[in-house]
Structure 1
C-alpha cells in the first residue's frame, strides 16, 4: 500500500485516513437531477461499465449503481475503501490512484470523479484516464460546492480555508488548467441546486471536520477550529438552537468525451 499512497497529496493521505467516519456524516448527498445527467450526458445504463475514481467512502457510488451500470470503485486510502466495501458489497473496489488505474486499456465506458479531481488534475492523470476509457467514452467531474453567497456559509469557508495550505481545492479553479487536453473534447458544464439538511453537528461541524487538511491538523489546532465552529453556530440566527439546519450547495457537473486519437504516454521528466 505504500506504493499506492506515494503519489497522494499528504493532506489527503493523512487527513482522509483519519476522518473517514466524519466524511460519511458531514458530506451532503447529491441532487436528484444528477441521476438524469448520469443517464443522458454520461450514457450510464445497464451494459455499460463506469469507474468511480477516488471513490472515497462510496458517497457517490449509490448514484452510479442506480444507473444499472457495472461499477468499479478505485480508492487508494484503506480506511475509506473499507467503508465503501461495507456500504456497497456488490461493487468491485480496488486500490489504485488516478496515475495508476489497475485496469486494461480501452476497458470502460465512463470514468467519474466525484469530489476528487482537484487532487489529481495533472496531464499524467488525464493520460491514464484516457488509456482506460474506450474511444467515445466519457469523463465526468462532479463537486458539491458550499454556496458562499450566504454570509454564514462564507464565514464557514473562511474558517476552513485558513488552514488549507497548499492542498488543492475546487474553488481555486486550478484544476481547470489541465484542459484543453489532447485526446479529450471540450468540457461541458451544468449546475444543480443542492442542500444538506440535518443537525448542526453533522451539517456544519462534521462538514469541517471531514476536510482533509483540517483532519490532518494537530489535535490542539483541531480543537481551536471546533471552537470557532461552535461559536459560529451560537452566534448565527439560522443555526442557533435549531434541531435541523440547512447548508446550501451548488452541485457542479462537467463532462468531456474521449476522442479516438492516440495520446503519447506521459513521462515524468524528473523520473
Structure 2
C-alpha cells in the first residue's frame, strides 16, 4: 500500500492507539528541544497526543497539529487544555516564524518532505529546530530480536528497531546546498513500556502495516505473536518491561 493509505489507517484504531502506544523518553524530548532558541513548540502530526503530553509536562508552550479527525478527537479528550488544531505538515495552520521547535513523534516519515520541508521552515524562526522522534524496540535483547522476526515487517519494520532505525530514517530531512536545514544529528535514549503479552499484541495491532492487512492475514500475524510470547519465559506470564529506546533525529533551521 502507498504511504498516504498507510498514514491514514491510524484513525480506524485511534482509541487503541491512545491506550496502547507508549509515550516518549523524557530525556529524548529534552534533547530534541535543547538547541531551540525559545519555548514555543509545534507538535506536528501529533496523533493522539503521546508526545504532546510530555511537552505539556515539560512546561513548554505547545500547539498540536494533526490531520486525522479521530486521532485529533482522542488528543483533545486526553489533553483538554492543550491547544490542538486540524492540519498537516504540508499545510500548517500557523503564521510565519511562529515557533522555535517542531518535534514530530513517529510521524516524520509520513510527511511529504518536498512540501513539508519548506512549510516547516516557514513556521520556524531562524535557528529553530526540527526533530523526529521514534519509539523503537531494542532488538539487541535476544527475545525482542526473536519477536521482530516472528512478527514480520508489517508489525515491526526496520524503522521500529534500535538496530535499523538510523538507516531506515536516513535522508528524511532535506539537507545540503539550498536546504533550509543544517546537517542532522542523531541520538538514542533508553526507554521501556510495561506490558503483558496481550497488551503487547494490542500495541503491535496498531501498527500501520497490520491495520491495512486483510482480516485473515492480520489475525494470522497476531496469532503468531501470541504464540511466541506464550512460549518465552520473559513474557509467558504476568507483566514485563518491553526494552525500547527513543531515537531522535534533529536539525536546525538556517
Residue 222 of structure 1 is matched in structure 2 by 218
Instruction: Give 1:176 deviation, angstroms.
Output: 2.1
Once residues 196 and 106 of structure 1 are traced to their aligned partners in structure 2, the CA distance between those partners, rounded to angstroms, is 36
| Paired residue secondary structure (1:25) | helix
Once residues 240 and 105 of structure 2 are traced to their aligned partners in structure 1, the CA distance between those partners, rounded to angstroms, is 24
- Kindly report which structure 2 residues correspond to 1:161-176, keeping only aligned pairs within 5 A, or say none: 161-163=152-154, 169=159, 171=165, 173-176=167-170
- Kindly report which structure 2 residues correspond to 1:19-168, keeping only aligned pairs within 5 A, or say none: 19-34=13-28, 36-37=30-31, 40-42=34-36, 48-120=39-111, 122-163=113-154
Cα deviations across residues 202-221 of structure 1 (Å, max 9, x unaligned)?
2x201211101201222222
Once residues 158 and 88 of structure 2 are traced to their aligned partners in structure 1, the CA distance between those partners, rounded to angstroms, is 16
Contact 1:29–1:59 (Cα < 8 Å) also in 2: yes
CA distance change for structure 1 residues 215 and 73 in 2, over 3 Å: closer, same or farther?
A: same
Q: How large is the Cα RMSD of the aligned pairs? A: 2.3
TM-score computed with the length of structure 1 as normaliser: 0.82
Contact 2:98–2:124 (Cα < 8 Å) also in 1: yes
| Paired residue secondary structure (1:29) | coil
- Determine which of 185, 189, 202 is the counterpart of 2:186: 189
CA distance change for structure 1 residues 36 and 108 in 2, over 3 Å: closer, same or farther?
A: closer
CA distance change for structure 1 residues 244 and 56 in 2, over 3 Å: closer, same or farther?
A: same
Once residues 101 and 51 of structure 1 are traced to their aligned partners in structure 2, the CA distance between those partners, rounded to angstroms, is 10
Residue 11 of structure 1 is matched in structure 2 by 6
Instruction: Give 1:245 deviation, angstroms.
Output: 1.3
Gaps of 5+ in 2: none
Gaps of 5+ in 1: 1-6, 260-271
User: Are 1:205 and 2:201 matched, yes or no?
Assistant: yes
Once residues 112 and 241 of structure 2 are traced to their aligned partners in structure 1, the CA distance between those partners, rounded to angstroms, is 31
Once residues 105 and 216 of structure 1 are traced to their aligned partners in structure 2, the CA distance between those partners, rounded to angstroms, is 36
User: Are 1:249 and 2:244 matched, yes or no?
Assistant: yes
Contact 2:32–2:248 (Cα < 8 Å) also in 1: no
Once residues 141 and 172 of structure 1 are traced to their aligned partners in structure 2, the CA distance between those partners, rounded to angstroms, is 11
| Paired residue secondary structure (2:103) | strand
Cα deviations across residues 11-52 of structure 1 (Å, max 9, x unaligned)?
1212x01221222233222224235425633456xxx32110
TM-score computed with the length of structure 2 as normaliser: 0.87
Contact 1:26–1:206 (Cα < 8 Å) also in 2: yes
Instruction: Give 1:121 deviation, angstroms.
Output: 5.7
Count how many residue pairs are aligned between Structure 1 and Structure 2.
245
Cα deviations across residues 119-177 of structure 1 (Å, max 9, x unaligned)?
1262321111101111111112211111111232223323444437xx99463735322
| Paired residue secondary structure (2:50) | coil
| Paired residue secondary structure (1:176) | coil
Once residues 231 and 104 of structure 1 are traced to their aligned partners in structure 2, the CA distance between those partners, rounded to angstroms, is 51
